[in-house]
Each structure stands twice: as structure tokens, then as C-alpha cells.
Homo-oligomer: A and B are copies of this chain.
Amino acid sequence: MSQLYLVGMGPGDSELVSPKAIKAINNCSDLVAYGLYLDLLGEVCKGKTHHDLPLGEEIGRARRALELAASGKTTALISSGDIGIYAMATLVYELLDQQISGSAKDDHPEWLDVEIEVIPGISAMQAGAARAGAMLGHDFCTISLSDLLTPWETIEKRIHSAGAGDFVLSFYNPVSKKRDWQLNTARDILLQYRPAETPVLIGRQLTREDENITIITLAELDAKDVDMFTLVMVGNSESRLIEYENKNAQKQQWAYTPRGYKKKLV
């Protein structure tokens, strides 16, 4: 039996890793993942053969995972968040698709005998929404701002659609070292559709030791305050920020999106 698990380990907090993910990793002899992820997962990864590849070698990782599994080694390909959301799972299926359609650069019919199980995980948008309240309480969408594989024209059109549809909007890959202007352009587009004071959640290193969460307004959003470890979530036109003090004089702050539009009939 030739088994490959595609495992989402969640945002970082080990208490948000599902028992199903832990069980799958336990079954494996080989793990394909960034070293940081194995550090976050801890004990369960001990004694497994670890395969790391440089950042950016995503296709190499997916190939390695299929090769290992096809060779009879029970293998897990691990990513943070949900491996099905902007992550490695889809690359594995793209490689299989190329094998079937004959468009692959080399033939690996043995990959088609690998049993695949995908184990979902908590994605960054969910961790961010939960830590700050309930911003995903109504219709939402996600857009990756990386134009490495998607033309900017497509991304821009999508931001307009998100604005026109008044979706709560989570940006994945908001900036990178070489990419810094897209987020501000996205902000300017959204300002055509929703108020300047729309709440925006900035969540850095969510659920990890150096987590930092701030809630700002759409007008205040600036790429200089965001890095590649940050989730940016923009509320819809009805999203609200609430602030109050409890009896111990502690300031409470929550951002949420109401479940309906009852009060604002179109």
C-alpha cells in the first residue's frame, strides 16, 4: 500500500491541530515540510525522516511527496493552515493531472497508484476572525495578492468583484519582499465600494508566540505595516467594531459582521 497524506496543521497553535492530522503523521515514516512546521508540531514528528526543500520549491515538494509515497513509504506532505487553501494539495493534483493528460515532462505511472487522503486544517482567516471576534459572520471571499501565477489584471478584476458584491475580504499573500504595491492598490479599489471607516483586521503570526493583532480602518491600511506573515481582512459595509470596558476596567475590542442585512433593505 502506497499512502500519501496531505495534512493541514492549522495556523501554528498545537491545540488547533486536529487528532486526524496527528494520527496521519504518526502513521508515516517520511514527512515533507518546512522545518518550522515540524518545530511547531513537536513530539509527533520525532523519529520520522524529514525532507525539506528551499522556500519557493513548491513543485519540488509535491513531486518529492509523490515519489516517496509511490516508493512505498507512508508519507505526509504538511503545510500550515489548510493544505487545500492556497497550499500544496492542489499542486499534487496538478501533477497527477499532467500524468493522465500526457503533458508531464516525465512519466510516473506509479504516482497514480498512491492512495491520497486530504486532512483539512484551520486557515489563517479563521484564526484571525476568532481572535478578534466574528468578522466572517456573513458572506466572504479570499484573494491572493501574489501575481507570480495569476496576472494582476485577474486579481484586480476580482477585487472589484469583491467590492461590488460587498463580501468580507481576506487577503492572502498580501505582500512579499519583492511585492509591496498591490495591497495599497487593493485598498484604493475597495474604498470605491465601502466606507473609509470599514474595520480591517491585521493579524500577524496568528496563534503563535509573537502573535500581534490590530484593528484599523480601511483608510488606515498601509502595506508598510504588513509582512508576509500577516493576514489582512477587510470587513463588509456592515461590519462593526465594538469597544467597551469590563468591570475590571479592561478594554475589550471586537470586530464582527452581522449575520443579515435586515436593517438595511436594498
Contact = CB atoms under 8 A, between A and B. Distances in A.
A123 B130 CA distance: 13
A133 B90 CA distance: 8
Interface stretch (A18-26, A208-216, A221-229): A18-26
Contact of A112 (B118, B134, B136, B244): B244
Given A19-B17, A242-B96, A142 B139 contact: yes
A149 B261 contact: yes
B153 A157 contact: no
A93 B266 contact: no
A261 B20 contact: no
B90 A137 contact: yes
- Counted per complex, copies of this chain come to 2
Nearest to A92: B134
Interface string A215-254: 0000000000000000000000000101011111000101
B142 A91 contact: no
A15 interface: yes
A121 B18 CA distance: 10
B165 A158 contact: yes
A91 B138 CA distance: 11
A91 B134 CA distance: 9
Interface stretch (A44-52, A80-88, A179-187): A80-88
A90 B258 contact: yes
Contacts of A151: 261, 265-266
Nearest to A89: B134
B164 A162 contact: no
B84 A129 contact: yes
A4 interface: no
A148 B261 CA distance: 9
Interface of A: 10, 13-20, 23, 82, 84-87, 89-94, 96-97, 100, 112-113, 115-116, 118-123, 126-127, 129-131, 133-144, 148-151, 153-154, 157-158, 160-162, 164-167, 240, 242, 244-248, 252, 254, 256-262, 265-266
25 contacts: A10-B18, A13-B20, A18-B18, A84-B129, A84-B137, A85-B140, A89-B256, A90-B134, A91-B259, A96-B242, A96-B254, A100-B242, A112-B246, A112-B247, A113-B248, A119-B130, A121-B122, A139-B141, A149-B260, A150-B260, A153-B266, A154-B261, A157-B165, A160-B165, A164-B164
